[in-house]
Amino acid sequence: MTSTNKKSPLGPLMVDVGGQELTAEDREILTHPLVGGVILFTRNYRDHEQLKALCDDILSLREPRLLLAVDHEGGRVQRLRVGFTRIPSMRSIGARYVENPAAAIEQARIAGLTIGCELSAFGIDLCFAPVLDVDHGVSGVIGDRAFSDRGEVVIELARALRAGLNAAGLAATGKHFPGHGAVRADSHVELPVDRRPQAELRAVELKPFMAMIDEGIESLMMAHVRYTAIDETPASLSRRWIRGILRRELGFTGAVFCDDLSMGGAAVVGDLAARARLALAAGCDMLPVCNDRPGVIALLDALKDLKPSRAASSRLQKLYRRSVAS
């Protein structure tokens, strides 16, 4: 591994760290030219003072600084809990919408604002939300993370949650493009396959993403799902999905995140290096690689001749949290 000079573009890899303080190995990895972001987990948190010191340390390592993220959707996907507001599941907000749409929309906005305010206090840029998947009642891994089984409700509540995040200075990341809610398999352990016709995918799954793209959502995360009517390659690694449909057809100009390359849904194409090369060729800007330090080290060596993209780095830097007047 080699360290970066301070002015090089952000690299395409988002990695994690093992503890509550940075080790010498962490520092070497986080200053590598191919690294551009850090994702935090529950293990990285002891208390507010420790977390702030850790985040400050990470953010001081290089210029442009690393992008700092945590999965913090609410419900069962909320890495930081002790001392943080517990955010309800998105399904519970969607259920409230049936009874009182205005109250549910406000609840979604307040959830986004709360997440944004609490995370930005530590220097965190992204919470990887909102979930834009439509719940078809079959996906256990999505399930109550989705707002609703109705696309129009997903759009209304995702719009409100994004507004709350933006008001607190955070960008939003819609996921999992082009829609993970209609497949039973869990992409963490295997590759789900969606065999529905293209017309149905476009009429149902793409609608929330299209609406949020039209409204300028800042970033999207891809799904490790194969949609056989479009491409045999998983969407997260597919040029047709990313460069073709997402970029050219839908006109998305924001940052594109792959889902975690350590997941089983990506493993069908080969080792981490093969997955990373496919994801980058397909058009992903940033590739999370989580909970696999030996894999990260091997990947940095395997990709040592890769030059970080200045265009991708520019898109990623637009996701830095903004200062908001109180």
pLDDT value, residue 326: 45
- From residue 148, alpha-carbon distances to 100, 131, 145 in Å are 14, 10, 9
Position 249 in a domain = yes
pLDDT in tens, 252-276: 999 999 999 998 888 888 899 999 9
- 79 known ligand binder: yes
- From residue 217, alpha-carbon distances to 35, 136, 158, 235 in Å are 24, 24, 10, 19
Position 194 in a domain = yes
- From residue 91, alpha-carbon distances to 74, 166, 177 in Å are 10, 22, 19
| Position 85 pLDDT exceeds 50 | yes
pLDDT value, residue 6: 53
| Position 97 pLDDT exceeds 50 | yes
Q: What is the pTM of this model?
A: 0.95
Position 71 in a domain = no
The tally of domains found in the chain comes to 1
- 175 known ligand binder: yes
State how beta strands 35-40 and 13-15 pair. parallel
Position 132 in a domain = no
Handedness of CA 238, 205, 263, 48 (dihedral sign): positive
Could you tell me the two tokens for 324? 């908001």
Position 250 in a domain = yes
Q: How far apart are CA 64 and CA 36, in angstroms?
A: 9
Q: pLDDT > 70: what percent of the chain?
A: 97
pLDDT in tens, 130-188: 999 999 999 999 999 999 999 999 999 999 999 999 999 999 999 999 999 999 888 88
| Position 66 pLDDT exceeds 60 | yes
Position 266 in a domain = yes
What is the average per-residue pLDDT within 39-63? Answer: 97
What is the average per-residue pLDDT within 75-99? Answer: 97
Backbone angles phi, psi at 168, to 5 degrees: -90, 0
User: In which band, very low, low, confident or very high, does the pLDDT at 8 lie, cut at 50, 70 and 90?
Assistant: confident
Q: Which domain holds residue 189?
A: 180-199+223-289
Question: Would residue 136 show up in a list of annotated catalytic residues for this protein?
Answer: no
Position 276 in a domain = yes
DSSP assignment of 176-204, as one string?
A: EET--TT--S-TTTS--EE---HHHIIII
| Position 323 pLDDT exceeds 90 | no
pLDDT in tens, 106-139: 999 999 999 999 999 999 999 999 999 999 999 9
Could you tell me the two tokens for 159? 């719009």
Single out the catalytic residue among 188, 214, 271, 301. 188
| Position 4 pLDDT exceeds 60 | no
Position 170 in a domain = no
User: In which band, very low, low, confident or very high, does the pLDDT at 313 lie, cut at 50, 70 and 90?
Assistant: very high
Could you tell me the two tokens for 183? 């497949």
Q: How far apart are CA 290 and CA 73, in angstroms?
A: 18
What is the average per-residue pLDDT within 61-72? Answer: 97
Question: Would residue 224 show up in a list of annotated catalytic residues for this protein?
Answer: no
- 71 known ligand binder: yes
pLDDT value, residue 263: 85
Alpha helices, DSSP H only, in the chain? 24-30, 48-59, 90-99, 101-120, 151-167, 198-200, 206-214, 239, 272-282, 293-302, 310-317
Comparing CA positions, the residue from 158, 272, 167 lying closest to residue 217 is: 158
State how beta strands 226-227 and 287-288 pair. unpaired
Single out the catalytic residue among 16, 125, 133, 259. 259
